[in-house]
Amino acid sequence: MSQLTQQAPFPGVFYCRPSPDSDPFVEPGSSVDANTTIGLLEVMKQFVEVKAEAAGKVLEVLAGDEQLLEAGDDILVIDTSGEGA
Amino acid sequence: MNGRLLIANRGEIAVRIVRAAQELGLTSIVVHSEADAESLAVQLADEAVCIGPAQAAKSYLNIDAILAAARDCRADAVHPGYGFLSENAEFARRVEAAGIVFVGPDAGLIERMGNKSEARATAMAAGVPVVPGSPGPVVGIDEATSVAGDVGYPLLIKAAAGGGGRGIRTARNESELREQLPLAQAEARAAFGDDSVYLERYIERARHIEVQILADGERAVHLFERECSLQRRRQKVFEEAPSPALSEKARQQLCESAVALAEHVGYRAAGTLEYLYDDDSGEFFFIEMNTRIQVEHPVTEMITGIDLVREMIRIALGQGLSLQQGDIQRRGWAVEMRLNAEDPDKGFFPSPGRVEKLTWPTGPGIRIDSLLYEGYRMPPYYDSMVAKLIVWDETREAALKRAARALDEFCLEGFTTTAGLHRRLLDEPAIQNGDFHTGSLEVWLEDQSQALSQSESQLRSQAQSQLRSQPQSTSVEEAS
């Protein structure tokens, strides 16, 4: 199985859902492609959507909601072995 | 009274207040989040207290944590700076209830002037002109269309509890008003927990001019005006004092109206009254009051020589207003350029990072208010403003030339700031002539970004044609 661990592109506060009352953007088992938003990263009071870096299935979400991330910290793991299937 | 001042803020304004406190002989105590343990304010203050994690909601906005710190360190007074809890009536009330002086007006006044609709009614009662609009909140569409019949289009629909440019919608005709009003009310409810909205005439080519006042509860004085029309997304970018637009007569009327309003409400603190000024008609209209020290206060300090932060602390400590209006003289011209850790060429995207190398401009008439030092790492959690470069000279023309010289001397390695944007702005004839309004900067930025993308595409096509003519020897990188 080929996997991709996606990392934070810049430091910030990670949000796994669009608002406190909403469902998470993705969960283990969710299918993603390069247009799928996997979370929000807040940097200097601006919110930036983080898109999945590869198509596949989410295996694990490593970053917690409202967790402070440094650039390069792990966000989630995507199983890319079924890509294109 | 132990002479201990707690500073409930961060960044450059915390540094600014530490300096004022030390000059007054007070012990300066800054609160800070875990992310700000290495900040300049922490280093310069006499004492520092950690109040929580990086997120502002858990530290700088946490009233319980700040009050606990204030009690633990036996603070006599709390200065809230700007932003965060500076205009939070509950915070002011709880500080006072704990037997500690709040450096600002009392909670009732923060509440009254913080509600835009109520501030507007207060201004009218004090005889200060307001933008034509609804006398108070509008309830339904019938009331709104009736107001529109009197005031005319275009109209702004504004949340009564709004601020910082949030909760504002435009209606250019009745069908837009019918469409926008319920949306504006829903937004106001979601954002501010209060669905009251009111209507105002939309003045498309207006200047934003504000008057700085100091007051002790009985008497108020003004320290002239600031011109803050150069804004992006309703956030100020470049400010100056005085305004290049006002005649002496208009200046006097404007400043006197601000004093009248401050005295009408028995205001006690430093404060700012914001106005829209119509260049064509010479009319001015009160829009709102800020019950705190503002980011752009240094330009007023530069042209009057008065330390506003020191004065506001003295007033809060019950020493009364030491100034008479006749003591306050205006001299020369000052401009302030906000330097943000943002890349103007990439849609103002934030650029956090470490300060690798830093050279501040120096020389006559230059002031830097900043949180930066070499080796400092910008935390990603807060506002992107990293410095204010304030420049004074005898005339406006000389001040702008000196500002350009100062920006040329400034050197920061480690991340991008908006300094380059200011340098380009200073070369613009419209800026040099003082010919702009609140919409000018957005239009200019749009033109700049179009010019940039055009020159990029020209470069690309040049590169491609070179590639075609020299396919063997030139790589894309070399050609472009």
Structure tokens at B141: 């569409």
Where b means 16+ CB within 10 Å and e means fewer, B259-296 reads bebbbebebbbbbbbbbbbbeeeeebbbbbbbbbbbbb
Asked if residue B109 belongs to a domain, the reply is no
Asked if residue A78 belongs to a domain, the reply is no
CATH number of the domain enclosing A68: 2.40.50.100
Asked if residue A36 belongs to a domain, the reply is yes
B183 and B224 fall within a common domain? no
Beta-strand pair A74-79/A31-32: unpaired
Asked if residue A80 belongs to a domain, the reply is no
At B160, is the pLDDT very low, low, confident or very high (cuts 50, 70, 90)?
Answer: confident
Asked if residue B258 belongs to a domain, the reply is yes
CATH number of the domain enclosing B61: 3.40.50.20
For residue B431, give its domain range. 206-439
Q: How far apart are CA B401 and CA B64, in angstroms?
A: 48
Which one of B235, B338, B339, B349 would you mutate to disrupt binding with A, by most A Cβ within 10 Å of its Cβ?
B349
Would you call A44 and B55 a contact, using CB atoms and an 8 Å cutoff? no
Closest residue in B to A14 (Cα–Cα): B381
B419 and B288 fall within a common domain? yes
Q: How far apart are CA B54 and CA B380, in angstroms?
A: 9
Please name the residue that has the structure tokens 């299918």.
Answer: A31
Which one of A41, A44, A47 would you mutate to disrupt binding with B, by most B Cβ within 10 Å of its Cβ?
A44
**B205 pLDDT above the threshold of 70:** yes
**B474 pLDDT above the threshold of 50:** no
B430 and B323 fall within a common domain? yes
Asked if residue A77 belongs to a domain, the reply is no
Give the tens place of pLDDT for each residue, B261-318.
Answer: 999 999 999 999 999 999 888 999 999 999 999 999 999 999 999 999 999 999 999 9
Give the tens place of pLDDT for each residue, B338-347.
Answer: 999 999 998 8
- Mean pLDDT value of segment B107-132: 92
> What does the pLDDT read at residue B478?
31
A83 vs B1, more confident:
B1
Structure tokens at B382: 């807060």
Please name the residue that has the structure tokens 């002539």.
Answer: B433
At B476, is the pLDDT very low, low, confident or very high (cuts 50, 70, 90)?
Answer: very low
Domain count, chain A: 1
**B383 Cβ under 8 Å from any chain A Cβ:** yes
Using beta carbons and an 8 Å cutoff, which residues of A are at the interface with B? 10-13, 42-46, 66, 68
pLDDT, averaged across chain B: 92
Asked if residue B470 belongs to a domain, the reply is no
| Cα within 13 Å of Cα(B34), Cβ side | 7
Choose among B42, B81, B106: nearest CA to B308: B81
**B227 pLDDT above the threshold of 90:** yes
**B384 Cβ under 8 Å from any chain A Cβ:** yes
Would you call A43 and B352 a contact, using CB atoms and an 8 Å cutoff? yes
Mark which of B184, B201, B218 sits at the end of a domain.
B201
| CA A48, B423, B301, B256 torsion-angle sign | negative
> What does the pLDDT read at residue A39?
94
At B466, is the pLDDT very low, low, confident or very high (cuts 50, 70, 90)?
Answer: low
| Whole-number percent of chain B with pLDDT over 90 | 80
CATH number of the domain enclosing B261: 3.30.470.20
The three-state DSSP-derived secondary structure of B341-358 is CEEHHHCCEECCCECCEE
Which of B292, B314, B338, B396 does the annotation list as catalytic? Answer: B292
> What does the pLDDT read at residue B473?
35
Would you call B352 and A46 a contact, using CB atoms and an 8 Å cutoff? no
ipTM of the complex: 0.78
Asked if residue B393 belongs to a domain, the reply is yes
Mark which of B156, B184, B201 sits at the end of a domain.
B201
Would you call B380 and A11 a contact, using CB atoms and an 8 Å cutoff? yes
A chain contacts of residue B381, beta-carbon cutoff 8 Å: 12-13, 42, 44, 68
- Mean pLDDT value of segment B98-118: 94
B249 and B296 fall within a common domain? yes
Tell me how far the alpha carbon of residue B468 is from its chain's centroid: 52
Between chain A and chain B, the number of residue pairs with CB atoms below 8 A apart is 35
CATH number of the domain enclosing B169: 3.30.1490.20
> What does the pLDDT read at residue A84?
47
Asked if residue B111 belongs to a domain, the reply is no
Give the tens place of pLDDT for each residue, A30-75.
Answer: 999 988 999 999 999 888 899 999 999 999 999 999 898 988 999 9
B188 and B213 fall within a common domain? no
B474 vs B468, more confident:
B468
> What does the pLDDT read at residue A45?
84
Asked if residue B253 belongs to a domain, the reply is yes
B175 and B229 fall within a common domain? no
Closest residue in B to A12 (Cα–Cα): B380
For residue A43, give its domain range. 3-72
Which one of B33, B377, B378, B381 would you mutate to disrupt binding with A, by most A Cβ within 10 Å of its Cβ?
B381
Asked if residue B480 belongs to a domain, the reply is no
B45 and B165 fall within a common domain? no
A chain contacts of residue B342, beta-carbon cutoff 8 Å: 44
Touching A: B residues 321-380, CB under 8 Å:
341-342, 349-350, 352, 380
Give the tens place of pLDDT for each residue, B135-155.
Answer: 889 989 999 999 999 999 999
pTM over 0.80: yes
Give the tens place of pLDDT for each residue, B363-414.
Answer: 999 999 999 999 999 998 899 999 999 999 999 999 999 999 999 999 999 9
**B191 pLDDT above the threshold of 70:** yes
> What does the pLDDT read at residue B232?
93
Which of B54, B55, B382 has its CB closest to that of A44? B382
> What does the pLDDT read at residue B470?
46
What's the start-to-end Cα distance of chain A, in Å? 14
B156 and B182 fall within a common domain? yes
Decide if B94 is catalytic.
no
> What does the pLDDT read at residue B165?
66
A chain contacts of residue B349, beta-carbon cutoff 8 Å: 46
Asked if residue B399 belongs to a domain, the reply is yes
Q: What are the E-state strand segments in chain A? A: 3-7, 12-15, 31-32, 37-43, 46-51, 56-61, 67-69, 74-79
B283 and B401 fall within a common domain? yes
**Residue B256 carries which side chain, given as an amino acid letter?**
E
- Residues 6+ positions from B446 with CB-CB distance below 8 Å: none
